[in-house]
Structure 1
Amino acid sequence: MKEHIFNIKSEKEFTEVTLSIFKHQFQNNKVYRSFCDLLYIHPSDVKTIDEIPFLPIQFFKSRQVLSSLEPVEEVFTSSGTTRSITSKHFVTDIQLYKESYLQGFAHFYGSIEDYVVLALLPNYLERKGSSLIFMVNDLIAKTNNQESGFFLNNLQELTKKLIELDKKGQKVLLIGVSFALLDLVEIQKFNLKNTIIMETGGMKGRRKELVREELHQILQEGFGVAQIHSEYGMTELLSQAYSKGNGIFETPSWMKILTRDTEDALTIQKTGKTGGINMIDLANYNSCSFIATQDLGKVHNNGTFEIIGRFDDSDIRGCNLMVL
């Protein structure tokens, strides 16, 4: 079943593969099995995607969420304060992650070899275990272009490079965390014609949080671009969704977003209603493909989605019974 994940061509095929992976993870993932048992849900009762239980993302902080007995090849960890407990994603097949982000990028942006990738991710570089750094490092290598690379605090050097490459007509992807992109446009106003600006979210405590519209407006004016792109991913996922503007995200064919009722975590809502984001990521074959995140959002009729905010811990109603 693993080999079919990245070849899904239809909704029917997605459903078949998803139900098969649910059965596999129910049988092979002790944490997920305990969770399903607690809810009295068995694969024989599940006929549609909406009936699959979604594991609260907090379990990645307290358990080894694994559906495989293979050796762990990588452990990805979330960022957090010194006091907070971080999530850990134990990855037994790093090739699945590579295939996911390479095919996902190619689907939305074309060949990575057409780009110079410049990465402005200081807070991620300052710690170990970031799945984002792993992905971007590999994308940089895959460009086969010596101009690609990471930047930490050397914003003047990055400014010079951005202007030079853009003037040459080189396609550039600048991927950065929000606060660092804001730092950059404060020291230089750009007028870029061949560069994609992609933010990965979050001020990470470095600046006052801004609503997306305000952040994107400042960045659009600062970089001289019509749209700000966004990447949506997390430690607990092996796939990414991308937005090419206005905060509207699309998923690759092996991902699907559903929303759950904010008052009843086990009820899946119809499209168009704001709710908790539930994520199906079939690339999580060896961990758990069905995750209830702490993000709030809305799914549109065409399958695109937007992120509206986050639950406070006190607001995660209906999940209390799910702490094993």
Structure 2
Amino acid sequence: MKLNSSIKNITLSNNLASVNEANFVTTALDIFQYQYQHNQVYQQYCQALHIHPATINNIKNIPFLPIAFFKTQTIATTGFEPAIIFESSGTTQTINSKHLVKDIGLYEASFNAAFRLFYGEPANWCIIALLPSYLERNNSSLVMMADKLIEQSGHRQSGFYLNEPEKLHQTLQQLENQQQKTLLIGVTFALLDFAEQYPIPLSYTTIMETGGMKGRREEITRQEVHGILRHGFTVNKIHSEYGMTELLSQAYSAGNGIFKCPPWMKVLVREEDDPLSCLMADKNNIVSGALNVIDLANIYSCSFIATDDAAKLHPDESFEILGRLDNADIRGCSLLSL
């Protein structure tokens, strides 16, 4: 099966911004057909479910590949030598997921377009990353994203701050005095440690947590985390990023744990005990279940992933993460419950 025009427009120009509400469904269905034909693991999964691609004419009927497959199988659409292999953080007791990335440009196009959509030009920000555990690895998608955004920021005080809490505190004070718009993006346990050791009132800084206690601290709810951070930084809201190794796109929350997706990403929910079910929110109802993600940037991997997160889907297609499903492995980027 050849790439049709809707997929070519994304892959050849890395133009994810060409996806919109009007053409999302058509593009998703085209990608499903393409991945069924050229992704052996995904095809075998669909066949095991006795699903024939000719019967799929609605995104609600597309089979979503369990995310655990990324731990044990090579998930690739077409044969290629990966430009990079992203690997999940996990713990010493878990098997890490691996995401083979054919085109780094697609990943960069995705996080750049999403950041601009939700936060504007990186050059308008001083971007500070507090990601100590991720910097210990060479294959973290989060570190790559932060590194590229820091580079585009161009601010002399943008950068990674590793084991430098006093320097970070002084830097934030200077930026506040300059009334410089700043983004402090960090893994949850590091932000909590910093807020408790170096509390500082912030008026021009946006705090963004990426999730993850990674065994460093006792697990607490997202509400409790945000409460501690709001108090430590004297801010009204804590922003959040929802992403994972198996995806090339991210959703963002501007507060209260309510996430919104960029146009080329969509979430659905399923019954926890029925992988083929699809629950849709309507204008009057909020639905809860296990989270399914459609990520059209995952053209050369799998765009249809059944995660191990429990979620609440709102009528406007925003969503909340409620926690992990029972018996799911603890993940570095999604350890919090609401």
TM-score band, normalised by shorter chain: over 0.9
Alpha-carbon contact 1:8-1:14 (below 8 Å) kept? no
1:227 pairs with 2:241 = no
CA distance in 1, matches of 2:160, 2:54: 49
The one-letter code matched in structure 1 to 2:111 is Y
1:289 pairs with 2:303 = yes
Any idea what SS the aligned residue of 1:133 has?
Answer: helix
Please point out which of 292, 298, 306 is paired with 2:320. 306
CA distance in 1, matches of 2:321, 2:36: 29
**Structure 1 residues 4-43: aligned runs within 5 Å:** 4=10, 6-8=16-18, 10-43=20-53
Per-residue CA deviations over 1:240-271 (Å, capped at 9, x if unaligned) read 00000000000000000000011212101122
| Deviation for aligned residue 1:167 | 1.4
**Structure 1 residues 52-91: aligned runs within 5 Å:** 52-91=62-101
1:277 pairs with 2:296 = no
| Paired position in structure 2 for 1:182 | 192
| Deviation for aligned residue 1:309 | 0.7
Alpha-carbon contact 1:239-1:281 (below 8 Å) kept? yes
Aligned length: 315
| Paired position in structure 1 for 2:158 | 148
Please point out which of 3, 8, 20 is paired with 2:9. 3
| Deviation for aligned residue 1:2 | 4.1
| Deviation for aligned residue 1:9 | 5.5
The one-letter code matched in structure 1 to 2:123 is E
Per-residue CA deviations over 1:164-200 (Å, capped at 9, x if unaligned) read 1111011100001111111111122211111000000
Any idea what SS the aligned residue of 1:196 has?
Answer: strand
Q: How high is the sequence identity, in percent, across the aligned residues?
A: 50
Check 1:2–1:249 CA distance in 2 against 1; reply closer, same or farther (3 A cut).
Answer: farther
| Paired position in structure 1 for 2:227 | 217
The one-letter code matched in structure 2 to 1:3 is N
Any idea what SS the aligned residue of 1:274 has?
Answer: strand
Any idea what SS the aligned residue of 1:268 has?
Answer: strand
Alpha-carbon contact 1:2-1:285 (below 8 Å) kept? no
The one-letter code matched in structure 2 to 1:157 is K
| Deviation for aligned residue 1:75 | 0.3
| Deviation for aligned residue 1:14 | 0.3
Q: Which moved more, 1:262-271 or 1:228-237?
A: 262-271
**Structure 1 residues 88-107: aligned runs within 5 Å:** 88-107=98-117
| Deviation for aligned residue 1:69 | 2.0
Alpha-carbon contact 2:91-2:214 (below 8 Å) kept? no
Per-residue CA deviations over 1:70-103 (Å, capped at 9, x if unaligned) read 3210000001223421100000101000000000
| Paired position in structure 2 for 1:322 | none
Q: Extract unaligned runs of 5+ from structure 2.
A: 1-6, 330-338
| Paired position in structure 1 for 2:140 | 130
Alpha-carbon contact 2:19-2:264 (below 8 Å) kept? no
CA distance in 1, matches of 2:73, 2:19: 34
The one-letter code matched in structure 2 to 1:279 is V
Any idea what SS the aligned residue of 2:287 has?
Answer: coil
